[in-house]
C-alpha cells in the first residue's frame, strides 16, 4: 500500500513549501519525497516508476525510518525537472534516462530501473508504411528516413551523432500527431513503452514496425540533488534488496507491456543495428517518456 496518494497532485500548499517541510526536525518524522506529476504517457507505464520507488523505500523502512511520496502538480519538461531537483525548489527526486549533463547536475543512483528494456528501440510507424520498412536491410538504408524524437531527450544527440536525420519537438504527445501527419517516418521507442503506446494510439493508424531494432545504452536512473547523498544511498540499498529478493523483477513483470518487451528483446526475426553512444554530447537543454 503506498504511503500517500501518489497519483493526485498536492493541494493547498506549494511544492516548494512542502519541500521545506520535508526537511526532518527529528528522527521520527517521515521523509517526504516530492516527485513530478507525469501525464500524457500511458498510465500503466508511469505507475510502474511510482510503485518501484515505493517498493525500494519500503525495503529500508525498518532501518531508515518512515517516508511519504507526493506528486507536485503541473507537468515539467525534462530540463525544468532537472533544475528543480538541483536547486531543491519544488521536487527532490526524478527518474529519467541518464546522460553526461544530467549526471553533472544531479546525483544518479546508477542502477537501471528497466533492466535493458530502454536500450533496445523499435519503431512506431504509420501502418501503411510497413512495406517500405520491409525493404530495409542495412543501417545506411534506415538513415535515409527521418526519425521523430523529443527535443530534450538524450536520444536526439545519440541519433544525430550516428548520422540519423531527426525531427524533434518539445511535446511528447505531439510526436504521435506528427507521425500520423507524415512529418517524419518513424518514432523510435524503448521496448518497455512501445506496446502500451501502440494500444493508446492505434486509432491514429499507427503500428509497431515488424523487422528492425536499434540498440544503444540508455539506462533509466533515479536522480536526487548532489546535496542529498543520504537519499541516494538509501535508494541504492533499497534497489539492491529488491533485486536480491526478487521483488524488483516481480514488479517489472507485472506490467503486461514490460513482460512482452522482454520477449521482444530476443526476437530473432529483427535486424539489430547497434549505435555508438560514445558519439553522444551533453544535452543542450534539458519528463515525458525520457
Tell me what the mean pLDDT of segment 171-180 comes to: 95
Q: Which three cell numbers stand for residue 219?
A: 539506462
Q: What is the pLDDT of residues 262-288, one digit of tens each?
A: 999 999 999 999 998 765 444 333 334
pLDDT of 284: 33
Tell me what the mean pLDDT of segment 236-262 comes to: 95
Q: For 154, what's the count of Cα atoms within 13 Å in the CB-facing half-sphere? A: 23
User: Phi-psi region for residue 267, left (φ > 0), alpha (ψ -120 to 50) or beta?
Assistant: beta
Q: Which three cell numbers stand for residue 143?
A: 538513415
Question: What's the CATH fold of domain 15-114+220-255?
Answer: D-Maltodextrin-Binding Protein; domain 2 (3.40.190)
pLDDT of 206: 97
Q: Spell out the CATH class of 120-218+260-279.
A: alpha beta
pLDDT of 224: 98
For residues 156 and 147, give the distance between their C-alpha atoms in angstroms, rounded to a whole number: 9
Backbone angles phi, psi at 53, to 5 degrees: -60, -45
15-114+220-255 against 120-218+260-279: fold identical: yes
pLDDT of 116: 92
Percent of the chain with pLDDT over 70: 84
Most confident segment among 72-76, 107-111, 253-257:
107-111
Q: Which of 39-43, 159-163, 186-190 is predicted with the least confidence, judged by mean pLDDT?
A: 39-43
Q: Are strands 165-169 and 146-150 parallel, antiparallel or unpaired?
A: parallel
Residue 140 vs residue 42, higher pLDDT: 140
Q: What band does 256 get if pLDDT is binned at 50, 70 and 90?
A: confident
The model carries a pTM of: 0.83
Q: Domain ranges in the chain?
A: 15-114+220-255, 120-218+260-279
Q: What is the pLDDT of residues 121-162, one digit of tens each?
A: 999 999 999 999 999 999 999 999 999 999 989 999 999 999
Decide if pLDDT at 1 tops 90: no
Amino acid at each position: 500500500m503506498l504511503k500517500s496518494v501518489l497519483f493526485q497532485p498536492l493541494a493547498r500548499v506549494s511544492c516548494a513549501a512542502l519541500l521545506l517541510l520535508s526537511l526532518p526536525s527529528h528522527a521520527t518524522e517521515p521523509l517526504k519525497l516530492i516527485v513530478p506529476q507525469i501525464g500524457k504517457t500511458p498510465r500503466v507505464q508511469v505507475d510502474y516508476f511510482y510503485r518501484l520507488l515505493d517498493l525500494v523505500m519500503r525495503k529500508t523502512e525498518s532501518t531508515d525510518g518512515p517516508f511519504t511520496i507526493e506528486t507536485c502538480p503541473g507537468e515539467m519538461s525534462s530540463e525544468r525537472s532537472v533544475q528543480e531537483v538541483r536547486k531543491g525548489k519544488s521536487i527532490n527526486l526524478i527518474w529519467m534516462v541518464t546522460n553526461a549533463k544530467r549526471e553533472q547536475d544531479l546525483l544518479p543512483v546508477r542502477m537501471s530501473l528497466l533492466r535493458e528494456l530502454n536500450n533496445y528501440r523499435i519503431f512506431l510507424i504509420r501502418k501503411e508504411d510497413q512495406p517500405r520498412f520491409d525493404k530495409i536491410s542495412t543501417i545506411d538504408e534506415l538513415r535515409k528516413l527521418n526519425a521523430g524524437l523529443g527535443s530534450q531527450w538524450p536520444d536526439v544527440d545519440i541519433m544525430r551523432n550516428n548520422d540519423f536525420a531527426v525531427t524533434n519537438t518539445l511535446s511528447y504527445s505531439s510526436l504521435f500527431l506528427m507521425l500520423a501527419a507524415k512529418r517524419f517516418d518513424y518514432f523510435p521507442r524503448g521496448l518497455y513503452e512501445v506496446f502500451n503506446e501502440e494500444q493508446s494510439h492505434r486509432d491514429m493508424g499507427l503500428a509497431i514496425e515488424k523487422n528492425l531494432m536499434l540498440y544503444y545504452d540508455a539506462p533509466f536512473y533515479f536522480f536526487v540533488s548532489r546535496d542529498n547523498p543520504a537519499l541516494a544511498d538509501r535508494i541504492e540499498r533499497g534497489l539492491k534488496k529488491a533485486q536480491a529478493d526478487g521483488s524488483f523483477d516481480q514488479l517489472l513483470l507485472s506490467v503486461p507491456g514490460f513482460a512482452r518487451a522482454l520477449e521482444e528483446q530476443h526476437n530473432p526475426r529483427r535486424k539489430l543495428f547497434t549505435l555508438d553512444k560514445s558519439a553522444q554530447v551533453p544535452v543542450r537543454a534539458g519528463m515525458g517518456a525520457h
